[in-house]
Amino acid sequence: MADRYDYVIIGSGIAGLYAAILAREHGSVLVLTKGSIDDCNTRWAQGGIAAPVGPGDSPEKHLRDTIEAGAGLVDEEAARVLTAEAADRIDDLVRLGVPFDTVHGEIALAREGAHSLPRVLHAGGDATGAHIELTLSSVARLEGITVLEYTIATEILVEGPGGDHEPRRGGSRTAPTASACDNHRRAAGVRALDTRTGQATEYACRNLILATGGAGQLYRVSTNPQVATGDGIALAYRAGAEITDMEFFQFHPTALRLTGVQPFLISEAVRGEGGILRDEGGERFMPACHPQAELAPRDIVARAILDRMQRTGADHVLLDVTHLDPHLVVARFPQIYRFCLDAGLDITQRPIPVSPAAHYTMGGVRTNTWGETTMRGLYACGECACTGVHGANRLASNSLLETVVFAKRVVRRTLVQTDARPGESPATTAPLAPDAIDLSEPAPGEAAPLTREALQDLTWRDVGIVRDAASLTRATATLGAWQTTLAQPHDRPSQELADLLLCARLVTEAALRREESRGAHYRTDFPEPREEWRRHLTFRRASIRPA
């Protein structure tokens, strides 16, 4: 075992770096990250970060919009925390040096879909995430925080029944059920692999913070970079922590669709500034679909686009900004303008071909409002966590906000040592969900060889923007068959594939069980929300068996 730390933080996006900067004041900190420090979703965030700081706005109004977008599943207490603490966290980011854009000396605020007011702070126009990531990584460096790059976490070390001292994956001994282990099991550290040398090392810690981001690589068409493979969610599930809301995967309506060009996000803010969606024939179609037209909630816009694509037979629709002042377009969206121009498209002259793409993991490791998971010593914040603030559908630009609000609360929580012996982390955890279930037992079956691409094709086709029982049942069988053939991961690609496969099973089985449509989860065989489904689906391993 390598050195013992007060905090080991997995991930160097906004959640991990912000938590590290705060934790540094209270003890020794080690950050592990599987790529370079800035290889994460954060650096690609465009639109900005929501906070109720503008004239006429309030935490209460922001709360109402968040709840409205979440389609009946937002945890109101968590969303109240999110919106009440938003302004203070923005102040923190400003103090750390994030250069938010201003107009006449005041913070500039943009309007995005389903926000009732302009509420979105941005930096460098549409380069918000890059500025945040650069600022936080510079501060981390200045503070002397140790960041081990190219080091992938592969397993959470657990003390207690069924824990680290039990046989490892593939071991034969049957461990106690998770409920029997409740409160006796504790995250004690993490095993990680140096991807350059192949060396595995165990890092012990008092507080293990997952900040590993989302699982956007589950899908063939995705705005997320290669690192977004749901590792933290998979690691937490295997360790016995609860995972929830995985069926709610947000598809962004507008990613650039150009042959030979990666799906690049065309921010919601483009529609906020007046961008209009038209079909191939030039017809504007959103006003007939929703009163908020182009600024309707993302799931509605995504499905409307899909429907229009199916009707016209095209693989895209058009997002038109040619009627806007070209200077405004270039100044407000320099990154988008430049990316499209490099791909041969001047967006001030021609409409942008767009189609929906996988974008945001609403579900994740279940936490309470202090970022505590259901396992002692294990915390989660950022996109890998499910705090409940997004419910069935995330309000645009609430995710960057969620990362900082809850990262701060995680670190504050680790300082509460009332019921712990010296040197121990607090004994509190999020309470177990009484109705948690486990994944079905995977069964062998016929399936093409498992590759990342095969998995992404399957989920895109059968577990995508629209699903039904037939497609989900088919996907469950294939994923189960793949699971039975999976070898023990030994490097980064095989670890990521194992983690993606587990996340895909969680998404698919949750989507199959939820016999209704709500927020981002749309089933053609159950197209309406159903009152009996106004509840969460939570997974917990029934036993500590290989997964």
Ligand X SMILES: Cc1cc2nc3c(=O)[nH]c(=O)nc-3n(C[C@H](O)[C@H](O)[C@H](O)COP(=O)(O)OP(=O)(O)OC[C@H]3O[C@@H](n4cnc5c(N)ncnc54)[C@H](O)[C@@H]3O)c2cc1C
- Known catalytic residues? 298
Q: At its nearest, how many Å lie between ligand X and the CB of residue 288?
A: 27
Q: Which of 20, 71, 140, 227 binds ligand X (CB under 6 A)?
A: 227
Does residue 265 belong to the site contacting ligand X (CB under 6 A)? yes
x-or-dash string of contact with ligand X, 427-466, rule CB under 6 A: ----------------------------------------
- 10 Å CB burial of residue 104 (0-12, 13-18, 19+) is exposed
Q: Which of 306, 386, 400, 439 binds ligand X (CB under 6 A)?
A: 400
Does residue 397 belong to the site contacting ligand X (CB under 6 A)? yes
Q: At its nearest, how many Å lie between ligand X and the CB of residue 479?
A: 20
User: How many CA atoms lie within 13 Å of 195's alpha carbon, on the beta-carbon side?
Assistant: 19
Q: Which of 5, 7, 9, 10 binds ligand X (CB under 6 A)?
A: 10
Of 58-66, 333-341, 397-405, 530-538, the segment contacting ligand X by CB under 6 A is 397-405
Does residue 520 belong to the site contacting ligand X (CB under 6 A)? no
C-alpha to C-alpha distances, 344 to 123, 282, 334, 399, 500, nearest whole angstrom:
25, 21, 15, 31, 34
Of 97-105, 198-206, 243-251, 394-402, the segment contacting ligand X by CB under 6 A is 394-402
Q: At its nearest, how many Å lie between ligand X and the CB of residue 232?
A: 6
Q: Which of 113, 125, 129, 353 binds ligand X (CB under 6 A)?
A: 129
Size of the site for ligand X (CB under 6 A): 43
C-alpha to C-alpha distances, 514 to 445, 465, 478, 509, 534, nearest whole angstrom:
25, 15, 19, 9, 10
Q: CB-wise, 146 or 417, nearer to ligand X? A: 146
Does residue 223 belong to the site contacting ligand X (CB under 6 A)? yes
What are residue 4's DSSP bridge partners? 204
Q: CB-wise, 161 or 519, nearer to ligand X? A: 519
**Which one-letter DSSP state was computed for residue 60?**
H
Q: CB-wise, 139 or 400, nearer to ligand X? A: 400
Q: At its nearest, how many Å lie between ligand X and the CB of residue 38?
A: 8
Helices (H), 168-265: 178-181, 231-239
Q: At its nearest, how many Å lie between ligand X and the CB of residue 18?
A: 8
Q: At its nearest, how many Å lie between ligand X and the CB of residue 216?
A: 6
Q: At its nearest, how many Å lie between ligand X and the CB of residue 203?
A: 11
Q: Which of 403, 414, 459, 483 binds ligand X (CB under 6 A)?
A: 403
How many other C-beta atoms lie within 10 A of the C-beta of residue 358? Answer: 28
Contact between 231 and 152 (Cβ < 8 Å): yes
Q: At its nearest, how many Å lie between ligand X and the CB of residue 199?
A: 15
What residues between 192 and 211 interact with ligand X by CB under 6 A? Answer: 211
Does residue 13 belong to the site contacting ligand X (CB under 6 A)? yes
The tokens for 80 are 């109240």
Could you give the angle at the alpha carbon of 365 between the alpha carbons of 36 and 133, nearest 5°?
Answer: 30
How many other C-beta atoms lie within 10 A of the C-beta of residue 292? Answer: 15
Nearest residue to 518 (alpha-carbon basis) of 477, 467, 451, 443: 467
Does residue 12 belong to the site contacting ligand X (CB under 6 A)? yes
Q: Which of 54, 161, 353, 382 binds ligand X (CB under 6 A)?
A: 382
C-alpha to C-alpha distances, 300 to 92, 173, 304, 376, 406, nearest whole angstrom:
34, 48, 6, 39, 28
Q: At its nearest, how many Å lie between ligand X and the CB of residue 345?
A: 18
What residues between 274 and 333 interact with ligand X by CB under 6 A? Answer: none
What residues between 134 and 193 interact with ligand X by CB under 6 A? Answer: 152-153
Element spanning 65, H or E: helix 59-69
Does residue 15 belong to the site contacting ligand X (CB under 6 A)? yes
Q: CB-wise, 133 or 182, nearer to ligand X? A: 133
Q: At its nearest, how many Å lie between ligand X and the CB of residue 39?
A: 5
The tokens for 446 are 């016929």
Contact between 174 and 543 (Cβ < 8 Å): yes
Q: CB-wise, 191 or 536, nearer to ligand X? A: 191
Tell how many helices (H) and how many strands (E) occur in the chain. 15, 20
Give the dihedral of Cα atoms 136, 383, 74, 473; nearest 10 deg. 170
How many other C-beta atoms lie within 10 A of the C-beta of residue 242? Answer: 25
DSSP assignment of 352-396, as one string?
Answer: EEEEEEEEEE--EEE--TT-B-SSBTEEE-GGGEE-SSSTTSPPT
Of 221-229, 301-309, 311-319, 523-531, the segment contacting ligand X by CB under 6 A is 221-229
Does residue 212 belong to the site contacting ligand X (CB under 6 A)? yes
Of 13-21, 326-334, 512-520, 521-529, the segment contacting ligand X by CB under 6 A is 13-21
Contact between 358 and 219 (Cβ < 8 Å): yes
What residues between 229 and 248 interact with ligand X by CB under 6 A? Answer: 231-232
Does residue 383 belong to the site contacting ligand X (CB under 6 A)? yes
What residues between 26 and 55 interact with ligand X by CB under 6 A? Answer: 32-35, 39-42, 44-49
Q: CB-wise, 92 or 307, nearer to ligand X? A: 92
User: How many CA atoms lie within 13 Å of 119's alpha carbon, on the beta-carbon side?
Assistant: 27
Contact between 122 and 128 (Cβ < 8 Å): yes
Contacts to ligand X by CB under 6 A: 10-16, 32-35, 39-42, 44-49, 128-129, 152-153, 211-213, 223-224, 227-228, 231-232, 265, 360, 382-383, 397-400, 403
